[in-house]
């Protein structure tokens, strides 16, 4: 997990799952009426909470699986299937609709501060992200491997933070059509990565 090519693959997988660009319209909708300073605070707080949650699953996720008797090959196959279903949702735009539903529910419950729910969880740290992190932790080779994964987490969350801070500009530059095209391209990449996870899990099983 310490070589550059593997880190790029890990970054791509997590970036596609978290989908910073796709989160921009939701962030804007959840922070409507807030000042630029308030939006910055919400964005920073949401990303910080998401980072803590991701680190918890990075270091404890595999231990929890072992405790309940789930092997990593089995989880890798199941995780690959989950990510593949997520990719299908991205390709057919169902994922954005589901995220909007979560965002609407969060806005109703926490009108003043959406940083914890629904931004940090489940929009940033959702089931797909948790699955990906646990799968990546299985590839960690000692302390350096975990440091590499943490660097990937920081890089992805930095992209989320930048996307939130530049939300208005990104949405205007890409438009709805541009965001839809980007989402579908990322969905194709995620589908390929999901199949690779499944193949790796089957290979490890035998």
* pLDDT tens-digit series, residues 87-116: 887 777 665 566 566 566 555 554 568 899
And the tokens for 103? 């965002």
What pLDDT, in 10s, does the model give residues 57-81? 999 988 888 888 888 888 889 888 9
Contacts of 181 (CB under 8 A, 6+ apart): none
Residue 181: per-residue pLDDT: 84
Q: Which long-range contacts (CB under 8 A, 24 or more apart) does 107-114 make?
A: 107/29, 107/30, 113/42, 113/45, 114/30, 114/31, 114/42, 114/46
User: What is the number of domains present in the chain?
Assistant: 1
- Structure tokens of 6? 């593997």
Domain of residue 36, residue span: 4-205
Q: Provide the pLDDT for residue 110.
A: 47
Q: Pick out the chain residues at pLDDT < 50.
A: 110
Write down the pTM of the prediction.
Answer: 0.79
Count CB atoms within 10 A of the CB of residue 8. 11
Cα–Cα distances in angstroms (integers) from residue 74 to residues 60, 162, 205, in the given order:
17, 36, 8
């Amino acid at each position: 997990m310490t070589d550059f090519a593997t880190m790029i693959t890990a970054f791509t997988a997590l970036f596609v799952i978290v989908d910073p660009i796709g989160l921009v319209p939701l962030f804007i909708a959840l922070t409507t009426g807030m000042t630029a300073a308030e939006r910055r605070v919400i964005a920073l707080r949401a990303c910080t909470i998401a980072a803590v949650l991701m680190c918890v699953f990075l270091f404890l996720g595999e231990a929890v699986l072992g405790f309940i008797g789930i092997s990593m090959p089995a989880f890798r196959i199941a995780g690959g299937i989950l990510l593949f279903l997520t990719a299908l949702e991205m390709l057919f735009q169902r994922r954005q609709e589901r995220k909007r539903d979560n965002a609407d529910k969060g806005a109703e419950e926490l009108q003043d501060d959406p940083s914890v729910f629904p931004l940090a969880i489940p929009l940033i740290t959702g089931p797909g992200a948790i699955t990906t992190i646990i799968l990546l932790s299985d590839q960690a080779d000692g302390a350096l491997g975990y440091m590499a994964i943490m660097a990937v987490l920081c890089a992805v969350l930095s992209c989320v933070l930048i996307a939130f801070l530049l939300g208005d500009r990104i949405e205007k530059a890409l438009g709805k059509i541009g965001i839809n095209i980007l989402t579908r391209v990322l969905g194709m990449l995620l589908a390929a990565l999901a199949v690779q996870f499944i193949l790796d899990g089957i290979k490890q099983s035998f």
